[in-house]
Structure 1
């Protein structure tokens, strides 16, 4: 994505001159104006409406993009962000970008067109380059549940690797040595982190990682069902399953139940996220708590810091924690 810097270099003028041509805030010589307009056309640069709005006024709104509006995970994030924004006098403008790059880009462009003062994004499909370019154009951006090194001071993330390790270590402590893993889509950084934590816990326990015990899914109940069926068809021996989110754990649970396999008597099960429904499963699902409220609070704190240019205490890396319920069998103390 072309930026003002690219346009200035292509036209051989300063970035300030490019800005003046775009915003029409002051006179620019006809020659320089033609050069800038030619560079904009050749590079396909589209002036950013939010950057222009910030030059003159604010709307008192913050744009939020999430993949979907339904479900306890994203609805929880939206509720917490909206509640915290109101405390600072801001309103949320929310849009669902779906799980595609095109859908998420369209959501961002829509919000920019609405001249929101800042963006809070939960997006895994937008490229690093696209997001970096937004920030370079002067858009106050905060990313949640994602880390981009070039935007380190704009990212609120949790330690997914620690979470995956915690889940696997708990199963190991309960005497399980043959542990299957249902991962999220491995093109997503959070899924890769959780798988890495699972793998590291096994290695530190002196156990060999076995790819046949790993099945990739899509962070949904339906894909959890298919992933669990694949594991059972492989006829690999395992006594426990770590599902990288609770929705996939629910899907896995239904498959085990339909096959007459009892949780936790026959197979133990642990999830990730600690969504509300996890406590109402029978037996209650042991899981890793995703600090949704804390992440949302930190995201708003960082957004306000960016808008008001003031220093606020922000925790950029949050730690997950283990929530023990009844879905894991203790093999060490079983007669």
Structure 2
């Protein structure tokens, strides 16, 4: 295959002239420009994109680090970012950490060594000092979905607290006063904010005492199963359960159905994420919907803004995207409570 030297020799110009002309950084008289075009055509020269990227100190690719790609939330998030990167003609390198700290460190090291131009980073665990130091030492990095507290980098989250308030207000309006909240450990910003908003709205929307029990855990089906087993042991049982992720919801419903618990006859269920096909469940599940596709697009857009700054200095900004309540059939007034309300459905 012909190279730049062959084209330069054929056109009677220097290699640097050919290189700068082809990458658009040099204007030439039309006659000289046509000589180069003719040489390129005759020799069937194809530019080497890797060489061009190396010469510019860029890879034209960004990384996306997620805990896994098996669950509905992360698979949809990856798809949204991949589609946006493709639209922008940008390479995307995907890494799944399996939520293991050592794998997170490995991929952050790759960014520090400039294997990629930038990175969108998603963790699904409580951050520690090691992760904070690693994230803080990276240039051109955006945190998505979950925080690493103290990291001065751009961040994109859904409005978790507003989502918790929507859930609490909805259950309180339907007459629920005893509720089980499932998921989210204190060290993770998503769970902490969802619980805070939920507690506030339940207290504000209720005309009497409110009881909120809690099962702490990660956003996994096993946390949902543990919550289901705990619910079955409770006496009296809560009249509603707020499962703070699709994954938790799946595990929870497995246990309740095996125990022949009726939804919403015996207990109302409300979820968070609404990425999985909750409308196909029996009954369809009411949920707080995260704007997953918008989260992905916003994170990539924010990352590209940081890449425009050659210094790599980026503001520690936090962007919150709105969530919505999608009402279906899994929430009803508690058994024996005739309280009803008229509402529109999303």
1:160-196 per-residue CA deviation (whole Å, 9 max, x = no partner) reads: 1111121121111112122111123333221121122
Question: Which residue pairs with 1:19 in the alignment?
Answer: none
Question: Which residue pairs with 1:97 in the alignment?
Answer: 97
Distance 1:117 1:253 in 2: 43
1:333 and 2:321 matched: no
Distance 2:259 2:136 in 1: 54
Distance 1:126 1:85, change over 3 A: farther
Displaced runs of 4+ in structure 1, greater than 6 A? none
Distance 2:55 2:303 in 1: 18
Question: Which residue pairs with 2:294 in the alignment?
Answer: 294
Distance 1:282 1:127 in 2: 37
Question: Which residue pairs with 1:234 in the alignment?
Answer: 234
Question: Which residue pairs with 1:305 in the alignment?
Answer: 305
Question: Which residue pairs with 1:13 in the alignment?
Answer: none
Distance 2:189 2:61 in 1: 29
What stretches of structure 2 of length at least 5 have no aligned partner? 1-52, 342-346
Matches within 5 A, 1:115-134: 115-125=115-125, 127=127, 133=133
CA shift, 1:315, in A, is 8.1
Question: Which residue pairs with 1:38 in the alignment?
Answer: none
1:52-87 per-residue CA deviation (whole Å, 9 max, x = no partner) reads: x99961001101110012121111111111111222
More divergent stretch after superposition (97-106 vs 54-63): 54-63
Distance 1:297 1:164 in 2: 24
Question: Which residue pairs with 2:323 in the alignment?
Answer: 320
Matches within 5 A, 1:123-162: 123-125=123-125, 127=127, 133=133, 137=137, 139-147=139-147, 151=151, 154-162=154-162
Distance 1:209 1:148 in 2: 32
Richer in helix (by share): 1
Question: Which residue pairs with 1:7 in the alignment?
Answer: none
Distance 1:170 1:143 in 2: 30
Distance 1:107 1:315 in 2: 23
8 Å Cα contact 1:96/1:107 also seen in 2:
no
Question: Which residue pairs with 1:3 in the alignment?
Answer: none
8 Å Cα contact 1:215/1:231 also seen in 2:
no
User: What is the TM-score with the length of structure 1 in the denominator?
Assistant: 0.75
CA shift, 1:243, in A, is 0.6
Distance 1:190 1:138, change over 3 A: closer
SS at structure 1 position matched to 2:120: strand
Question: Which residue pairs with 1:175 in the alignment?
Answer: 175
8 Å Cα contact 2:136/2:151 also seen in 1:
no
SS at structure 1 position matched to 2:273: coil
What stretches of structure 1 of length at least 5 have no aligned partner? 1-52
CA RMSD of aligned residues (A): 2.8
SS at structure 2 position matched to 1:119: strand
Matches within 5 A, 1:69-108: 69-108=69-108
Distance 1:101 1:294 in 2: 27
Question: Which residue pairs with 2:274 in the alignment?
Answer: 274
CA shift, 1:209, in A, is 5.6
Question: Which residue pairs with 2:198 in the alignment?
Answer: 198
SS at structure 2 position matched to 1:316: strand
SS at structure 2 position matched to 1:194: helix
CA shift, 1:241, in A, is 0.7
Q: Which has the larger radius of gyration?
A: 2
8 Å Cα contact 2:163/2:323 also seen in 1:
yes
1:95-133 per-residue CA deviation (whole Å, 9 max, x = no partner) reads: 111223223212322455571000100114474755665
Alignment size in residue pairs: 279
1:212-231 per-residue CA deviation (whole Å, 9 max, x = no partner) reads: x2112321122201111112
8 Å Cα contact 1:298/1:315 also seen in 2:
no
